[in-house]
Amino acid sequence: HSLQSAMGAATQWPLLLLGILLCRLPWTFSSTRPRSLVSMVSMRAADEDGILDGTFKEVASNLVGSMPLPGVEKEAHDAYRVGLNAQTSGDLQMAVRSYAQALRLESDPYDRSYILYNLGLCFADNGEYSKAAKYYLMAVDQNYELCSAWNNLGVLFHAQGMKAERDFRSERADALFAKAAEYWNRAASCSPGTYQDAERWLLQTGRASGDWQSDMLSAAGFR
């Protein structure tokens, strides 16, 4: 069953359902399925190597148990904890249901961004790459500095561009690579030097833009 149905069963929250329709992509991502949600997740297609950032560890887990939190906020953290444990153990339907509950309860945009990001990982691991991209986009809409979501978007679009290139659809490939470059430049800008494979691709293809190149050189001691 689709994970989307699991989410629908967990909550009637209309904004979550509306989110499914946002940033709709006219294709289904069909690159190799990610291996795991734990640690780093690899997606490989022919000559293409892309690294998806793995699940974020539980945010302030010790604080949840040791500090008094407002009831709703603690419920949201508890639901997130259940979702994270389920996701790590591979129970993606339970993870989606728990994250949906956390989204219904959580109002802070920063915390919501991590829930949406992990939902994107769930859909990617289930082979639903277009839905994964939608949730990554919703995550960065809540938290523009969520570098891992930008990186994962770049990986998805780059993998699809590689597929189009192998199918001799050069215009489509160019358009997809342009989107991959846009997202990878954003990832590089908010965390220079972290996504070295992406940065290397951007430099080699002439698609690098922004200040991340000079920031990276400055960090390395070059002026």
3-state secondary structure the chain: CCHHHHHHHHCCCHHHHHHHHCCCCCCCCCCCCCCCCCCCEEEEECCEEEEECCCCCCCCHHHHHHCCCCHHHHHHHHHHHHHHHHHHHCCHHHHHHHHHHHHHHCCCHHHHHHHHHHHHHHHHHCCCHHHHHHHHHHHHHHCCCCHHHHHHHHHHHHHHHHHHHHCCCHHHHHHHHHHHHHHHHHHHHHCCCCCHHHHHHHHHCCCCCCCHHHHHHHHCCCC
How far apart (Å, rounded) are the C-alpha atoms in residues 179 and 170? 14
**pLDDT value at 184 more than 90:** yes
The arithmetic mean of pLDDT across residues 178-201, rounded, is 93
The phi and psi torsions of 42 (rounded to 5 degrees) equal: -105, 140
* Cβ atoms of residues 92 and 122 within 8 Å: yes
Whole-number percent of the chain with pLDDT over 90: 46
Binned at pLDDT 50, 70 and 90, residue 76 comes out as: confident
b or e along 114-132 (b: 16 or more beta carbons within 10 Å of the residue's beta carbon)?
Answer: bbbbbbbbbbbbbbbbbbb
The arithmetic mean of pLDDT across residues 36-48, rounded, is 30
Which tokens hold the place of 116?
A: 């949406």
The arithmetic mean of pLDDT across residues 136-144, rounded, is 95
How far apart (Å, rounded) are the C-alpha atoms in residues 7 and 40? 25
**pLDDT value at 203 more than 50:** yes
pTM of the model as a whole:
0.69
Q: What's the pLDDT at 3?
A: 63
Please, which residues bridge with residue 42 across strands?
A: 51
